[in-house]
Amino acid sequence: MLSSNRKREGPVRKLSLIVFLLIVTACQSPTARVAGGLGNLADNQNYCNTAVQLSVLEKGGVSQICYNSRLKILEFSLLNTANADIAAADIQVYTPGGVFPLERVLSKEPGIIFSGRAYFDDQFGRIQKVRFIPTILIDDREFACPNKALSVDEISDC
């Protein structure tokens, strides 16, 4: 009776070993490591630190971010001076009532990003701060760079 149980367990053990080896091999591949595989978030964060730079464009010494209360639009011009292409930037608006996400802004290459996003101050409250969190692509996977987020504390009226 014991020998028949061993025969049934044999293929299951072999299959488990094969699956284990496949998982280990996949996690050690360069693609898995660069794309944020196990244990390599530090590499991606280092890449963010050296290659990502987002700022608000200034024109004539005036920061190009403002809130148009009549149209209910947050208007901004961002400058992507990075070596890396910033795929998108997530937007968070800080108010006395909490933090509210806005629709993300998309970008594919370094340069100026002009955009506006609807924001209803009568519903959510006066804007105290806006935070833009850049996202880069590594092997077609998005990776956020929160340590390179751009925070703007002074939002003038348009």
Domain extent listing, the chain: 2-34, 52-157
pLDDT tens, residue by residue, 5-46: 444 445 444 444 444 444 444 444 333 334 444 336 556 677
Provide the residue count of the chain: 158
Supply the pLDDT for residue 80.
81
For 52-157, CATH number out of 1.10.40, 2.40.160, 3.40.50, 2.60.40 equals 2.60.40
Q: Is 9 exposed, middle or buried (0-12, 13-18, 19+ CB in 10 A)?
A: exposed
How far apart are the C-alpha atoms of 114 and 6, rounded to whole Å? 68
Q: Which two tokens stand for residue 95?
A: 């108010």
Residues 6+ apart with CB under 8 A from 56: 63, 64, 65, 76, 77, 78, 79, 150, 152
HSE-CB of 124 using CA atoms within 13 angstroms: 18
Query: What are the pLDDT digits (tens) for 52-70?
Result: 888 999 999 899 999 999 9
